[in-house]
Structure 1
Amino acid sequence: MKLPRWNVWCMARFDQVRRALMDPQTFCSGAGVGISNSRKEAPWRPPSMLLETDPPAHTANRAAISRTLSPAAIRSLRERFESEAHRLVDSLLDQPTVDVVREMAEAFPLKVFADAIGIRPDGRDNLVAYGNMVFNGMGPRNELWHAAMANAEAVSKWVLDACRRDSLDPNGLGIQIYASVDSGEFTEEQAALMVRSFLSAGIDTTAHALASAMWLFAEHPAQWQKLREEPARVKNAFEEILRFESPFQMVFRTTTRDCVIDGVRILADEKVLLSLGAANRDPRKWPEPDRFDVTRAVTGHVGFGAGIHGCVGQMIARMEVEALLAALLEEISRIELADEPLRVRHNTLRGFEKLRVRLRR
């Protein structure tokens, strides 16, 4: 359907959304993955070398990232993630209530993810602000967009400086991107932008997923008990959290040619909103889609996107959430809401601005 106020098309059914995600030749990312067409309007930042490029450039860029995020490299992070998860849970156990958003959902990825990439420890709060800019920046230029961009110049400078070779920890993943500079594949500036691509989606989406997990298990205590009885289901539980809450709710594509989708003709050079959240609740795909069930066969959701532009850091995000949930399962019998949660108002993300819980041993 067409959204006349914004002059964009919208796809919400699972089959439509997945088809578009899997067809970058028709639904491209090179004109920006937000509502604005970056070929007609100057973007607020240099485009992402991963999310906002198309083949063949995207293919080469993705290959460089994939070499850095090899299965062996990701496996090497597990012990650190699990150790930090237990340390964090231990520090929260004796508190009467826990501020989930600040003390857990943001704190954990700001520690383990930023350490893994090799980001310097001072000023990491800029990563939260930057993620807010990136994702609110995908939407229309409304009050949320302007609020997110209030300190854009300073935050963007800090992030890009933190991604430069001489700022990165020599033992982190980020510095490995610079091997592509030494081999002549990329310039120093391009390598910094590649590292920045790690960070654009590495904090906010994971933080919203973690907060959503805590809310869901507080609202559905029987599902928490089921998970405690069968902790091996923790991986599947996270996939159901992504399907049910879809922290990253929508992404945009631009048509490269005229096409017909389910009898509707869309012309070339049109913006198309792909509603990931709606697709993940489509009853044509998921039986009883509004029921949260950690035992559901949930393979195939589009919470991380799909196709060549699927989230490059999704394996790290999975490891983060699974490590923290596993640590909580060992210590916590029940998660209870301590006050009324407050949803965050956001252009593209779904999560919480305020969420306070009690952790019962």
Structure 2
Amino acid sequence: MSIDTTVDRAVSTIDPFSHGFLRDPYPHHEALRETGPVVWLEQYGIWAMARHQEVRDALTDWQTYCSSAGVGLSDFRKEPPWRPPSIILEADPPLHTRTRAVLTRILSPAAINNLRATFEREAELLVARLIEQREFDGIADIAEAYPLKVFPDAVGLSEDGRENLLPYGSMVFNSFGPRNDLFDAAMANAGPVRDWIMSKCSRAALAPGGLGMQIFQAVDSGELTEAEAGMLVRSFLSAGIDTTVYGLGNALSCFAYYPEQWRILRENPKLIRGAFEEVLRFEAPVQTFFRTTTKAVDVSGVGIGDGEKVLLFLAAANRDPRRWDRPDIFDVNRRATGHMTFGTGIHGCVGQAVARLESEAIFGALTKRVASFELTGKPELRLNNTLRGLDTLPLRVVPA
């Protein structure tokens, strides 16, 4: 098939990694959606998709839009990555099929349910302490503190050095963008952080019975090599924390800015799971991911060549009026199923059940104890090339 990639090409000069864009992406998302189903971004010489249908179609067609060339701007086939590629996130079948099967089993519904009592107990303890304080930082004291406790515990990670987890995640997610100031800042202390992460990915470093050791049991059964198991543990530690931290922080921010939605949730706690999905749609912690074409393809009449980078705007798809009614309204009664924050298809977020469990536990505890949230200062954004969330969220709680 011959596809002409030079005609009828919508072009934009928008820089999706500029500070201005990252601080307020939504007007730019609208502009990209309305420019066309596929847009050429002049600044980087890449394609972009911002509409729900096109983003979803690309995510589900792994044969045409591969992940193995990297899910960031750089093409692993042309330049070496700063770390060994993830054998789950940055892999395609057949390798991805084998590694995904191990993680899917370890994170089965039964396995997640086994974590529930511990996650809920830790959430209750944390919320009880914060209620006594009345004032706290919603990011440091909840959105970071809770995942940094329960998830590493579940993996079987020792407590020493856990302060390296968020800097490592920042390195990973900023590296998906260009080599800009955000990337440079994230990589400033890369050596020691990377060394610590690697030291925690071996069988000897993990506690018996944890999720990490269960990955190594797949070595004993012949499903993985020892090296592959270590790489999967590393992927666990990079992908399993930051996205949840940003998601919980964004949820707290939404409930502080839209107190009537918190009242609805308190009156009907059964809405908690659906409300978190609405947070993920409305204020997506994961804003973008890249794919690379494996062949020439026609998308809505636009020709994209073989070996082209395509930037998928997950957050823009989540507010596409072609898919959602009143997309710019935060509504905990909305059925937000179909948002793109966790991706979809074979590369859909493998740990999304853990994130949902954490949100249910923490907001279950909060609905019982907190009548309302009040901002005591101006929240500060934490700029990131891939993630969207806050650095600080000064809150005061009114006890129930």
- TM beyond 0.5: yes
In the alignment, which residue of structure 2 is the partner of 1:175?
213
In the alignment, which residue of structure 2 is the partner of 1:252?
290
For 1:50, give the aligned amino acid.
Answer: I
2:299 to 249, 261, 266: 261
Deviations 1:257-295 (A, max 9, x none): 000111110000000000000000000000000000000
Give the alignment's TM-score, normalised by structure 1.
0.99
Deviations 1:288-340 (A, max 9, x none): 00000000011111110111001110000000011100100000000111101
Unaligned segments of structure 1, at least 5 residues:
none
Between the aligned partners of 1:233 and 1:186, the Cα distance in structure 2 is: 39
In the alignment, which residue of structure 1 is the partner of 2:176?
138
1:114 aligns with 2:152: yes
Q: Is the 8 A contact 2:99 2:224 kept in 1?
A: no
Between the aligned partners of 2:97 and 2:118, the Cα distance in structure 1 is: 31
In angstroms, what is the RMSD of aligned CA positions?
0.8
Q: How far apart are residue 89 of structure 1 and its match?
A: 0.3
Higher alpha-carbon deviation: 66-75 or 277-286: 66-75
Between the aligned partners of 1:213 and 1:71, the Cα distance in structure 2 is: 24
Q: How far apart are residue 92 of structure 1 and its match?
A: 0.6
| Partner SS state of residue 139, structure 2 | helix
2:192 to 127, 149, 154: 154
Deviations 1:102-138 (A, max 9, x none): 1111110000011111111111111111111110010
Q: How far apart are residue 187 of structure 1 and its match?
A: 2.1
Q: How far apart are residue 185 of structure 1 and its match?
A: 2.9
In the alignment, which residue of structure 1 is the partner of 2:363?
325
Between the aligned partners of 2:382 and 2:167, the Cα distance in structure 1 is: 14
| Partner SS state of residue 76, structure 1 | helix
2:312 to 266, 271, 274: 274
Between the aligned partners of 2:105 and 2:194, the Cα distance in structure 1 is: 26
The share of aligned pairs that are identical, in percent, is 55
| Partner SS state of residue 391, structure 2 | strand
How many aligned positions are there? 361
Alignment of 1:215-234 (within 5 A): 215-234=253-272
Q: Is the 8 A contact 2:177 2:385 kept in 1?
A: yes
In the alignment, which residue of structure 2 is the partner of 1:129?
167
Between the aligned partners of 1:171 and 1:186, the Cα distance in structure 2 is: 18
For 2:230, give the aligned amino acid.
Answer: A
1:334 to 344, 347, 372: 372
| Partner SS state of residue 130, structure 1 | helix
Q: How far apart are residue 203 of structure 1 and its match?
A: 1.0
Give the alignment's TM-score, normalised by structure 2.
0.89
Q: How far apart are residue 97 of structure 1 and its match?
A: 1.5
For 1:2, give the aligned amino acid.
Answer: W
1:239 aligns with 2:277: yes
Between the aligned partners of 1:36 and 1:326, the Cα distance in structure 2 is: 41
Between the aligned partners of 2:190 and 2:294, the Cα distance in structure 1 is: 31
For 1:29, give the aligned amino acid.
Answer: S
Q: Is the 8 A contact 1:251 1:276 kept in 2?
A: yes
In the alignment, which residue of structure 2 is the partner of 1:190?
228
Between the aligned partners of 1:241 and 1:22, the Cα distance in structure 2 is: 23
Q: Is the 8 A contact 1:205 1:349 kept in 2?
A: yes
In the alignment, which residue of structure 1 is the partner of 2:336?
298
In the alignment, which residue of structure 2 is the partner of 1:60?
98
1:344 to 382, 393, 398: 382
Deviations 1:240-260 (A, max 9, x none): 000000100000000000001
Between the aligned partners of 2:267 and 2:221, the Cα distance in structure 1 is: 51
| Partner SS state of residue 30, structure 1 | coil
1:212 aligns with 2:250: yes
Between the aligned partners of 2:277 and 2:134, the Cα distance in structure 1 is: 30
Q: Is the 8 A contact 2:134 2:398 kept in 1?
A: no
For 1:82, give the aligned amino acid.
Answer: E
Between the aligned partners of 2:113 and 2:284, the Cα distance in structure 1 is: 25
Q: How far apart are residue 186 of structure 1 and its match?
A: 2.3
For 1:359, give the aligned amino acid.
Answer: V
In the alignment, which residue of structure 2 is the partner of 1:73?
111
Between the aligned partners of 2:351 and 2:162, the Cα distance in structure 1 is: 19
Q: Is the 8 A contact 1:33 1:52 kept in 2?
A: yes
2:137 to 76, 89, 99: 99
For 1:163, give the aligned amino acid.
Answer: C
Q: How far apart are residue 96 of structure 1 and its match?
A: 3.8
Unaligned segments of structure 2, at least 5 residues:
1-38
Deviations 1:195-243 (A, max 9, x none): 1111111111101111111110011111000001111000000000000
For 2:274, give the aligned amino acid.
Answer: N
